[in-house]
């Protein structure tokens, strides 16, 4: 039986992930098309998971009735399927897959701005040379389009490419854009619960967790939003991204809000970087206004809105823009929901006068089952005002919104989060401005830093 | 410092009276997770423990009118099945995160002896299918049964079937469902 190398290469698979019968697999092993690798390894008296590199206390005992022994399994990467020490990984060792060499893969006909073009050229060069590059591009710079040129070159060389991003929302948003741009390439989206699971495409869009599925798979690895949770904070994801690369592989890191570590690397010139301070429509980033509200915390605790917010809603320059209201916690979002339906309704009706009043105002948070649908409804202008936690701080794009943060000095709103949230406004060329306001009861350091960072970007953009 | 098995966060176990009562549980969960387990407080329906009043509930009355009359002697429950618990159980069962079950051990045993001390009872666990067993390596109901440390009986045993299934697999362990049914047919 002929086995397709594309289906199996670049992964370490558990037996249950291989849809072959016992006999076929046995034969494949005899022909050395697969080799077996232990799932856990011992190093200096400690055990490690061969998929995610975790050690104690992430490895725990199971009384396993498959092998009738008590042995370790890995809890750290269990969401990708449990790895137990009585199993093995199967690694493809047959012929290398022949990824298609595309003569003219890209159908995108848009034009890049001068600054996008400079970044696109640098990305292209880096991919050709299998180098490393940090792309620092402001929110709304149009970074996806900047990648197309380099991806085109890579596909012409028959390379395999992966773009990994922290959130499934973003993967879902990117898939149609890449499918349109590269119509003859097998583009696949992988995230928890994605319809596609095989991961045998030439161009993979995935959440960073899904990188755990791969082993020495890619010639080009693009990691989006390197400063975002969970990639920024979870060492497992760094292990996963290192393992997913072939020994020679280009690495492109994207961020709108680099953290201290990247800033240091840029300053020390240890990581090549390219900077895009201008949005693709050329307008400056909206600079957040701040409003001190005495008694804000108390009122939020009681589940009621501050006058300041209502006043701001009333006086917006463009009363038909949709509104995103960010709140620090789910609890608060839920508590304010009833009051929102009542107090915010007149504003919501001004935004979308033709819609049913009952569905104009909605709350979303991370564990919300209807999140995807609500975000889509907001995008379709079926919802006027969304109360949200930081879950919508980045990645998702709405064409024309104003943004308010209630209790902007709260810990969850660090500098990066505030810059990202402000970056939701003024995204479309048709409405390239938008209002951003921080409501607070005492400024935080992060607020000041975020405002300064945005002003700094705008200054640098003007100088170009 | 420990890592909470429920949420993965680091926590320091705090000295408290509860440590005397639930030593196993305290050492596994952080405070937030521990407080998200809600013990059923009321005696509830004497027959099924449903938390609506203290008389026989309408469900049980319905059952008694059906052909299942007199079948159920008593149902007892430990926790309310709220979203947190549903998620916890799903991770234990479906993801196969074995250690999560250990949290129930002490209280499950206590509850068992509180209601079924009499030696006329035997513990029978609901088996899982051969496919499930080869995927997970354990049966969550079997785990609970073992927690009682009481006399157990495999009257509903599917054990033989999956033993055979496993033996039919000469290569490795778990298998996808398709090739598995093939293996069973071959055996
Ligand atoms: Zn692992
Ligand atoms: Zn085992
Ligand atoms: Zn916990
Ligand atoms: Zn009842």
Give the pLDDT confidence of A293-303 residue by residue, as tens digits.
Answer: 999 999 998 88
Neighbours of A376 (CB within 10 A): 13
More confident position, B165 or A153: A153
B99 and A60: CB-CB below 8 Å? yes
Axis-axis angle for helices A415-422, A445-463 (nearest 10): 50
Q: What is the pLDDT of residue A215?
A: 94
Instruction: Report the pLDDT averaged over residues B48-72.
Output: 88
Residues of A in contact with B97 (CB under 8 A): 75, 78, 82
β-bridge pairing A203-207 and A161-165: parallel
A 56-115: CB under 8 A from B: 57, 60-67, 73, 75, 78-79, 82, 84, 86-88
More confident position, A48 or B53: A48
CA distances from B120 to A86, B48, B68, B71 (A): 39, 20, 22, 16
Nearest to A49 by CA among A37, A66, A32: A37
Q: What is the pLDDT of residue B173?
A: 39
CA distances from B37 to B18, B100, B104 (A): 14, 13, 10
pLDDT digits (tens, 9 = 90+) for A393-429: 887 788 899 999 999 999 999 999 999 999 999 999 9
pLDDT at A106 over 60: yes
* Token pair for B2: 């420990």
Which of A7, A12, A15 is most worth mutating to test chain B (most B CB atoms within 10 A of its CB)? Answer: A15
Q: What is the pLDDT of residue B26?
A: 52
- At residue B22 the predicted structure's pLDDT band, cuts being 50, 70 and 90, is low
Q: Which residues, at least 6 apart from A325, have a Cβ–Cβ distance to it below 8 Å?
A: A309, A385, A386, A387, A388, A403, A404, A405, A406
More confident position, B25 or B102: B102
pLDDT digits (tens, 9 = 90+) for A188-204: 999 988 998 889 999 99
- At residue B116 the predicted structure's pLDDT band, cuts being 50, 70 and 90, is confident
C-alpha A444 chain-centroid distance: 26
Strands (E), A93-202: 132-137, 161-165, 187-190
pLDDT at B181 over 50: no
Ligand 4 center to B78 CA (angstroms)? 15
Q: What is the pLDDT of residue B157?
A: 58
- Please check whether residue A330 touches B, CB under 8 A: no
On whether the CB atoms of residues A99 and A157 are closer than 8 A, the answer is no
- At residue B187 the predicted structure's pLDDT band, cuts being 50, 70 and 90, is very low
Instruction: Report the pLDDT averaged over residues B154-158.
Output: 64
Collapsed DSSP state (helix, strand, coil) of residue A345: helix
Q: Where along chain A do its domains lie?
A: 5-92, 114-276, 289-463
On whether the CB atoms of residues A126 and A150 are closer than 8 A, the answer is yes
Q: Where along chain B do its domains lie?
A: 1-36, 78-179
- At residue B158 the predicted structure's pLDDT band, cuts being 50, 70 and 90, is low
Instruction: Report the pLDDT averaged over residues A228-250.
Output: 89
Residues of A in contact with B170 (CB under 8 A): 22, 26
User: Which phi and psi (to 5°) does residue A432 adopt?
Assistant: -80, 5
Q: Which ligand sits nearest to residue A85's alpha carbon?
A: 2
Q: What is the pLDDT of residue B5?
A: 87
A63 and B96: CB-CB below 8 Å? no
In this prediction the pTM is: 0.83
Chain B nearest-CA residue for A81: B95
* Ligand 1 ion: nearby residues, β-carbon < 5 Å: A 49, 51-52, 54, 74, 76-77
Q: What is the pLDDT of residue B183?
A: 28
Instruction: Report the pLDDT averaged over residues B100-128.
Output: 88
Which of B130, B131, B146, B174 is most worth mutating to test chain A (most A CB atoms within 10 A of its CB)? Answer: B174
Q: What is the pLDDT of residue B162?
A: 59
- At residue A366 the predicted structure's pLDDT band, cuts being 50, 70 and 90, is confident
Residue in this structure with the two tokens 């090739």, named with its chain if needed: B179
Helix, strand, coil shares of chain B, percent, nearest 5, are 45, 5, 50
| C-alpha span between A123 and A129 (Å, rounded) | 10
Q: What is the pLDDT of residue B176?
A: 33
pLDDT at A327 over 70: yes
Instruction: Report the pLDDT averaged over residues A255-264.
Output: 89
Q: What is the pLDDT of residue A302?
A: 87
> In this prediction, what percent of chain B has a pLDDT beyond 90?
19
A73 and B96: CB-CB below 8 Å? yes
A82 and B97: CB-CB below 8 Å? yes
CA distances from A392 to A373, A407, A431, A432, A434 (A): 13, 16, 20, 19, 17
Mean pLDDT, chain A, as a whole number? Answer: 92
Q: What is the pLDDT of residue B171?
A: 41
Establish whether the linkage from the previous residue to A57 is cis, with ω within 30° of 0: yes
A64 and B96: CB-CB below 8 Å? no
Ligand 4 center to B47 CA (angstroms)? 5
Collapsed DSSP state (helix, strand, coil) of residue B18: helix
B134 CB burial (10 A radius; 0-12, 13-18, 19+): buried
Q: What is the pLDDT of residue B180?
A: 30
A463 CB burial (10 A radius; 0-12, 13-18, 19+): exposed
Characterize A134-156 residue by residue with b for buried, 16 or more Cβ atoms within 10 angstroms of its Cβ, and e for exposed.
Answer: bbbbbbbbbbbbbbbbbbbbbbe
> In this prediction, what percent of chain A has a pLDDT beyond 90?
73
Residues of A in contact with B5 (CB under 8 A): 75
* Token pair for A431: 């409405």
Bridge partners for A11 per DSSP? A214
Considering CB atoms only, which of A36, A57, A65 is closest to B3?
A57
pLDDT digits (tens, 9 = 90+) for B82-108: 888 999 999 999 999 999 999 999 889
β-bridge pairing B2-3 and B10-11: antiparallel
pLDDT at B159 over 60: no
CATH class name, domain A289-463: alpha beta
ipTM above 0.85, yes or no: no
Give me the CATH topology for the region A114-276.
Rossmann fold (3.40.50)
- At residue B186 the predicted structure's pLDDT band, cuts being 50, 70 and 90, is very low
User: Which phi and psi (to 5°) does residue A351 adopt?
Assistant: -70, -50
On whether the CB atoms of residues A221 and A244 are closer than 8 A, the answer is yes
| Cα torsion angle, A352, A356, A357, A360, sign | negative
pLDDT at B53 over 80: yes
pLDDT at A256 over 50: yes
Collapsed DSSP state (helix, strand, coil) of residue A326: strand
pLDDT at B35 over 70: yes
Least confident of A347-351, B11-15, B183-187: B183-187
Q: What is the pLDDT of residue B165?
A: 59
């Amino acid at each position: 039986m002929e086995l397709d190398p594309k289906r199996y290469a670049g992964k370490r698979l558990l037996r249950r992930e291989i849809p072959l019968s016992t006999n076929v697999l046995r034969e494949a092993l005899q022909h050395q098309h697969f080799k077996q690798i232990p799932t856990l390894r011992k190093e200096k008296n400690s055990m490690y998971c061969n998929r995610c590199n975790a050690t104690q206390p992430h490895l725990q005992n199971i009384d396993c009735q498959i092998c009738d022994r008590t042995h370790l399994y890995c809890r750290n990467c269990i969401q990708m399927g449990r790895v137990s020490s009585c199993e093995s990984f199967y690694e493809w060792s047959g012929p290398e897959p022949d990824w298609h060499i595309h003569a003219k893969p890209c159908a995108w006909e848009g034009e890049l701005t001068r600054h996008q073009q400079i970044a696109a050229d640098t990305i292209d060069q880096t991919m050709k040379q299998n180098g490393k590059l940090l792309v620092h591009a402001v929110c709304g710079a149009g970074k996806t389009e900047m990648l197309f040129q380099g991806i085109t070159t890579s596909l012409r060389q028959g390379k395999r490419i992966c773009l990994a991003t922290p959130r499934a929302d973003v993967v879902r948003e990117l898939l149609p854009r890449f499918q349109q741009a590269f119509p003859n390439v097998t583009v696949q989206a992988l995230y928890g619960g994605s319809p596609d699971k095989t991961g045998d495409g030439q161009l993979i869009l995935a959440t960073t967790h899904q990188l755990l599925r791969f082993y020495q798979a890619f010639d080009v690895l693009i990691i989006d939003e390197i400063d975002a949770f969970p990639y920024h904070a979870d060492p497992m994801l760094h292990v996963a991204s290192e393992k997913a690369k072939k020994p020679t592989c280009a690495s492109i890191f994207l961020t709108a809000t680099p953290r201290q570590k990247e800033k240091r690397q840029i300053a020390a010139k240890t990581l090549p970087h390219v900077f895009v301070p201008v949005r693709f429509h050329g307008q400056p980033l909206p600079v957040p206004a701040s409003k001190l509200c005495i008694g804000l915390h108390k009122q939020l605790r009681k589940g009621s809105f501050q006058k300041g917010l209502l006043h701001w809603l009333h006086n917006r320059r463009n009363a038909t823009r949709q509104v995103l209201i960010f709140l620090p916690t789910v609890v608060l979002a839920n508590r304010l929901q009833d009051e929102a339906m009542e107090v915010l309704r007149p504003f919501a009706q001004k935004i979308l006068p033709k819609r049913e009043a009952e569905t104009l105002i909605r709350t979303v948070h991370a564990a919300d089952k209807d999140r995807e649908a609500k975000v889509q409804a907001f995008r379709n202008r079926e919802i006027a005002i969304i109360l949200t936690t930081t879950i919508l701080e980045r990645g998702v794009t709405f064409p024309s919104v104003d943004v308010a943060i209630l209790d902007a000095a709260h810990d969850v709103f660090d500098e990066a989060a505030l810059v990202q949230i402000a970056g939701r406004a003024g995204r479309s060329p048709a409405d390239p401005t938008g209002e951003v306001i921080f409501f607070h009861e005492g400024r935080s350091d992060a607020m000041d830093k975020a405002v300064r960072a945005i002003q700094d970007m705008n200054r640098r953009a003007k100088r170009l | 410092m420990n890592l909470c098995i429920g949420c993965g966060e680091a926590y320091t176990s705090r000295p408290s009276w509860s440590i005397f009562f639930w030593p196993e549980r305290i050492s596994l969960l952080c405070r937030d997770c521990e407080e998200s387990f809600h013990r059923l407080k009321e005696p509830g329906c004497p027959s099924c423990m449903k938390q609506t009043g203290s008389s026989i509930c309408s469900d049980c009355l319905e059952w008694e009118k059906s052909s299942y009359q007199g079948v159920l002697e008593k149902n007892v429950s430990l926790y309310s099945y709220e979203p947190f618990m549903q998620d916890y159980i799903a991770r234990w069962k479906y993801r196969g995160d074995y250690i999560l079950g250990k949290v129930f051990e002490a209280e499950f045993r206590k509850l068992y002896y509180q209601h079924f001390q009499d030696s006329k009872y035997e513990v029978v666990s609901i088996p899982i299918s051969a496919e499930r067993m080869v995927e997970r390596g354990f049966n969550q109901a079997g785990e609970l049964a073992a927690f009682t440390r009481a006399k157990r009986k495999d009257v509903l045993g599917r054990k033989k079937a999956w033993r055979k299934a496993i033996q039919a697999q000469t290569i490795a362990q778990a298998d996808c469902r398709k090739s598995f049914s093939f293996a069973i047919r071959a055996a």
